[in-house]
Amino acid sequence: MKSPGDWEAGKRQIADLSLWKETFSYMEEPYAAPDGETLAAVVQTGEMEFSVCVNGQPWEAVFDKAWYPRFTPDGRLTALVSQEQQWTLAVDGVAWESGFDFAWNTQFAANGQGLAVFAQEGGEYKMALDGNGWEEGFSDMGDGALAPDGSACAAVVQVTSFSEGDIFTFKKGCYTVAVNGTAWEQAFVNCWTPVFSQDGKSVATQVRVNLYDYTVAVDGKPWDATFPCVWEPLFVPGSTSVVAPVKTPKGWTLARDGKPCWSSFFVQLLRQRFAPDNKTVAAVCAPKYGRWTVAIDGNPWKSTFDEAVWDVVFSPNSKRVAATAKDNGKWTVVCDGKAWDEKFDMVFAPVFSPDSGRVAARAIVNGKQALFVDGKMVAQDFSRAFDPVFGPQSDRLLIKGIKDEANRLVYSREVLVL
């Protein structure tokens, strides 16, 4: 993501939310754009009439319902909207021309380009990419994915119908993955979490081939080996090779193209991701029952946490890893195996500075949100804040948050010099 525009040090008020509340009879929680210059929230503009308010000004278009307002990584504002029983996606106030009986689950391409939604039309399910629904629908749809460049979308689909209670047809395999609306030839008992390769040309997914054996299928073809369980596959960047956590009699490990590629085994292994160098892999793991940490290329950190480890984030130079971990009821950030002293009721995904030297994170303490850099608080008392962004030189932090200031609820954008 490009660094958002204005890096002039100082604070600027963007919106007076108290005013919004006075203006609109109903308002939902707001969302801030990546550059912090815009704040948006669903508001009621009239009797059964809703819109999205942007910096105090609602979109011209109004809807029977609007929900899930979210910014794309490149700063466009989207919301799922309905008008006259037709649901679609509105982008910067303009609804797609195509409408559906229902639309939900907006998917954002990593580069900010593509936008897709799940859609139901006449009881048939499909994805719609940039307003274009698949030609054919399916009787049901499960997990979906959008290619990193937004060029293609895929979802788990049901290809054989069966009535409720028909456990026998089910076992024959009624599900597969449809890529841009075209289903793979082979069907499986189950498919979960399809994922695209970097170039958007290949799709891998978890499959259950019968009630007991699990594996990964790539472009419709399952791995030769099966396992008692597998989790989400991930393409090795720049290749058609796939890695996924697999369960073996010795424990969970990482497999590549069907063969274990780590020599270490864990009680649990989840959520693997590649470093920007496309070589190093890190994943959440439980080296022992009830102890959680991060394993990098199969080597777990020495420090472990008793409840959970959630986010795993690589630094831009691929050398550092930050994670969020929960221990003894409190969350914290762990960098390269070392936990911050500060503990939180909740913490959000940590963010590295472009030079990989700093880590920032948003956290909740006693119901208020605060921002931390390398374990030290830099801003606090927000009723709601948004993820911080480092400046291109890594020496500044963009802080976006809503605060009670002199009895006014105010959203400001502040660039802090670190």
Partner 1 sequence: MSQVIAKQSKPLPDAGLDKGVEGLTPEKIAKTLQAMLKAEGGARLAAYVNTCAHCGLCAQACHFCLSHDMDPAYSPAGKVKNTIAQVVKKKGKVDAGFIREAARIAYTECNLCKRCAMYCPFGVDVAYLMLVMRRMCHKLGVTPQYIQDTAHSHSVTANQMWVKQDEWVDTLFWQEEEAREEFEGLRIPLEKEGAQIMYSVIGPEPKFRAQLIYQAAALFHAAGLDWTMPATPGWDNSDMAMYTGDNEIMGRIKRAHYETAMRLRVQKIVMGECGHAFRSVHDMGNRWLGYKSSPVQVVHALEFYWELLRDGKLKLAKKYEKPVTLHDPCNVVRGRGLHEMARDVVRASCQTFIEMTPNREHNYCCAAGGGVINCGPPHKPTRVAGNRVKAEQLFRAKADGAQVVIAPCHNCHGGLEDIIHSYGLNLELKFLGDILYECMEKP
Q: Which is nearer to partner 1, 179 or 269 (CB)?
A: 269
Tokens at 389, concatenated:
């962004």
Rounded CA separation 269/186 (Å): 28
What stretches of 94-174 adopt beta strand conformation (E)?
Answer: 94-95, 102-108, 115-121, 124-129, 132-133, 141-146, 153-158
Residue 392's nearest CA partner among 350, 349, 355, 418 is 355
Contact residues: partner 1, CB under 8 A: 25-26, 28-29, 65, 67-68, 101-102, 104-105, 118, 120, 125, 140-143, 158, 164-168, 170, 175, 189-190, 192, 208, 211-212, 214, 228-229, 249, 267-268, 270, 286, 289-290, 306-308, 310, 326, 329, 345-346, 348, 364, 367, 369, 384
From the CB of 44, what's the least distance to partner 1, in Å?
9
Rounded CA separation 342/255 (Å): 36
Q: Which is nearer to partner 1, 92 or 345 (CB)?
A: 345
Helix H or strand E segment including 18: helix 17-23
Rounded CA separation 107/148 (Å): 10
Q: Which is nearer to partner 1, 190 or 197 (CB)?
A: 190
From the CB of 355, what's the least distance to partner 1, in Å?
27
Q: Which is nearer to partner 1, 385 or 396 (CB)?
A: 385
Helix H or strand E segment including 71: strand 65-71
From the CB of 124, what's the least distance to partner 1, in Å?
11
In the three-class reduction of DSSP (H, G, I as helix; E, B as strand; rest coil), residue 22 is classed as helix
Q: Which is nearer to partner 1, 56 or 228 (CB)?
A: 228
Tokens at 148, concatenated:
């990193």
Residue 189's nearest CA partner among 219, 230, 159, 144 is 159
Please give the order of strands across the beta sheet that includes 102-108. 102-108, 115-121, 124-129, 132-133
From the CB of 239, what's the least distance to partner 1, in Å?
27
Q: Which is nearer to partner 1, 9 or 48 (CB)?
A: 48
Q: Which is nearer to partner 1, 96 or 198 (CB)?
A: 96
C-alpha dist (Å) from residue 407 to 18, 19, 404:
9, 11, 6
